[in-house]
Amino acid sequence: MANEKKMVEQITSMEEDFAKWYTDVVKKADLIDYSSVKGCMIIRPYGYAIWENIQRLLDARFKKTGVENVYMPMFIPESLLNKEKDHVEGFAPEVAWVTHGGSEPLTERLCVRPTSETLFCEHYANIIKSYRDLPKLYNQWCSVVRWEKTTRPFLRSREFLWQEGHTMHATAEDAEKETLQMLGVYADFFEEDLGIPVLKGRKTDKEKFAGAEATYTVEALMHDGKALQGGTSHNFGDGFAKAFDIKYLDKDNTLKYCHQTSWGVSTRIIGAIIMTHGDDRGLVLPPAIAPVQLVVIPCAQHKPGVIEKATEVYERVSNIARAKIDVSDNSPGWKYAEYEMKGIPLRLEIGPRDIEANQCVLVRRDTLEKKVISLDDIETEIPALLADITKGLYNKAAQNRMNRTYTETELDSFIETAKTKSGYIRAHWCGCEECEIKLKELADVTSRCMPFGEQGEQGKCIVCGKPTDKLVYWGKAY
């Protein structure tokens, strides 16, 4: 028992030190290991399995909208990167450069992709000729490199995994429709599969993507009240098309510039899952992306027939969930703590008395509630419980967001709230970048987004007092 207690205590309490709790969880749940390459992480099999499930679910959602997967080179010639001025300026501080091939200096530096807009644009300029070629709806799953100064596992690393969609359209209206459609795909994925409520809205011009006309975002609030940008969708207008001369011959026999979008999410999602749903026992995984959705644990397995019956039950549940069985000689208490740390959504316990009564015990990871069910009802009870776990996770996170959302109309009270509380602060803003910068200086917050459905209400700018109908959610962010 002492060892079991010690194992659980290895995770620092989130109330004591949230940052240390997060690091403990990603390490002790076997999600990552540190690498000899500073700022880069090794994603271990359990962590990568979570990413594979995220990738599988999102990829299916993308393809339902007509998106096709492609793959672009890892390297971008400097001259190609420099074709779009705003874009290159936005990424310049984070770019890693290749200057030698073997022992020979390169005639032109190659950028290790921080994002692939320029490569897609070069390709699109070669293949788009007519309105019949549009739209082009491409996405790639890959890694990118951004030379971050401060890194944290999943949240910010110098190399990370992501997907980046890049689409081309005939009209500005089509591009805007695509931009918002993909934002909706992200929002549905976060809420329906991950149990994470998000704010959907537009970024301020200061916070938008380099080279974009408009950036839209889904923002999630973590357990500690800090925001995390879950995914972004950008409308590039025809800026890149003009820089790369991407034109098509329209039905009226005139050449026109294409309109472009880009959208992406990354392995930061795993960080969001940890910090939204996790607790002091470790991970709490939404069933949709959990590598193992249910673990079968035989109790008193040394007694005749227990392992055999547990195996029979395991084979049945394997048809309805991603399952595993643990027949190791570790004690049941050790196993409970281990799989709670791993965040497995459901635990099925079965022992001699259960076998006699034709029943088993199901334990939810999110609430630790136990439910005794008949073995005859496994096929209906388990899917229902898994669905209820996702709903429960969503409701708990939504309650946390509601409890940590404040509305302010006066600058002094805004500053006090930002200083003493964590979460979102709703306040009007005039649209002036100077006021946005001033608020950062005074309250150490950034604009997270201007949520859809909350614009148009008249108020006064929290900084300068000018009348405005723009409402912004502000906060500290990862």
Query: Region 390-398: what's the mean pLDDT?
Result: 98
Helix intervals (H) in 295-428: 306-317, 332-342, 352-356, 378-403, 411-420
Are both 240 and 166 inside the same structural domain?
A: yes
Q: How confident is the model at residue 9 (pLDDT cuts 50, 70, 90)?
A: low
5: confidence class by pLDDT, cuts 50, 70, 90: very low
- Domain end, chosen from 385, 417, 442, is at 385
Distance between CA atoms of 248 and 251, rounded to whole angstroms?
A: 10
Task: Write the burial class of residue 152 (CB in 10 Å: 0-12 exposed, 13-18 middle, 19+ buried).
Answer: middle
The residues with which 202 forms a beta bridge, in sequence order, are: 216, 450
Task: Tell whether 22 is covered by a domain.
Answer: no
For residue 317, give the nearest of 373, 382, 376, 366 by alpha carbon. Answer: 382
What pLDDT was estimated at residue 7? 46
What's the first-to-final CA gap in the chain, in angstroms? 38
Determine the pLDDT at residue 87: 67
Q: Residue 393: inside a domain, yes or no? A: no
Among the listed residues 448, 441, 444, the one whose alpha carbon sits nearest the alpha carbon of residue 421? 444
DSSP assignment of 109-148 equals: EEEEPS--HHHHHHHHHHH--BGGG--EEEEEEEEEE---
Close Cβ partners of 478 (under 8 Å, ≥ 6 residues apart): 152, 155, 156, 222, 226, 227, 228, 268, 271, 275
Model confidence band, residue 149 (pLDDT cutoffs 50, 70, 90): confident
Q: What percent of the chain has pLDDT over 70?
A: 97
pLDDT surpasses 60 at 8: no
User: pLDDT per residue over 356-383, tens digit each?
Assistant: 999 999 999 999 999 999 999 999 999 9
Residue that finishes a domain, picked among 385, 418, 438: 385
Nearest of 223, 222, 206, 205 to residue 214 by alpha carbon: 205
Residues 55 and 193 in one domain: yes
H helices present in 254-319, as ranges: 268-277, 306-317
CA proximity to 43, closest of 26, 57, 67:
26
CATH of the domain at 370: 3.40.50.800
The pLDDT of residue 396 is: 98
**pLDDT band at residue 4 under the 50/70/90 scheme:** very low
**Contact predicate 248/128, CB 8 Å:** yes
DSSP line for 231-253: EEEEEEETHHHHHHT-EEE-TTS
CATH number at residue 447: 3.30.110.30
Answer yes or no: is pLDDT of 332 > 70: yes
3 state SS of 392: helix
Alpha-carbon radius of gyration of the chain? 25
Residues 214 and 343 in one domain: no
In a domain, 284, yes or no: no
CA 386, 265, 220: angle at the middle one, nearest 5?
65
User: How do residues 220-235 score in pLDDT, each as one tens digit?
Assistant: 999 999 999 999 999 9
Both 49 and 179 in a single domain? yes
Cβ within 8 Å of residue 80, ≥6 positions away: 118, 119, 122
Q: Average the pLDDT over 263-292 and give the result.
A: 98
State the amino acid at position 171 in one-letter form.
Answer: T
Residue 299 near residue 349 (C-beta atoms within 8 A)? yes
Q: Do 195 and 138 lie in a common domain?
A: yes
pLDDT in tens, 336-345: 999 999 999 9
Q: Is residue 262 part of a domain?
A: yes
Residues 370 and 413 in one domain: no
- Whether residues 298 and 232 share a domain: the answer is no
In this structure, is residue 68 part of a structural domain?
yes
CA separation for the pair 231, 201 (Å, rounded): 11
- In angstroms, rounded to a whole number, what is the distance separating the alpha carbons of residues 349 and 332? 9
Q: Which two tokens stand for residue 116?
A: 């692939």
The candidate with the shortest Cα–Cα distance to 66, out of 122, 134, 112, 15, is: 134
* Digit-coded pLDDT (tens) for 102-148: 999 999 999 999 999 999 999 999 999 999 999 999 999 999 999 98
| Spatial contact of 158 and 152, defined as CB atoms under 8 Å apart | no
Do 126 and 42 share a structural domain? yes
In one-letter notation, the amino acid at residue 260 is: Q
3 state SS of 13: coil
Domain total for the chain? 3
329 and 463 part of one domain: no
The whole-number average pLDDT for the span 404-414 is 98
Q: How far apart are CA 115 and CA 264, in angstroms?
A: 10
d(CA 391, CA 387): 6
CATH of the domain at 194: 3.30.930.10
Q: Is 5 part of any domain? A: no
> Are residue 134 and residue 40 in the same domain, yes or no?
yes
- Domain that residue 304 falls in: 294-385
d(CA 380, CA 238): 52
Q: pLDDT per residue over 424-469, tens digit each?
A: 999 999 999 999 999 999 999 999 999 999 999 999 999 999 999 9
Do 136 and 206 lie in one domain? The reply is: yes
Q: Are residues 90 and 182 in the same domain?
A: yes
The one-letter amino acid at 92: A
- Averaged pLDDT for residues 178-199: 98
Query: For 62-83, how does the pLDDT look when each residue is reduced to its tens digit (9 = 90+)?
Result: 999 999 999 999 999 999 988 8
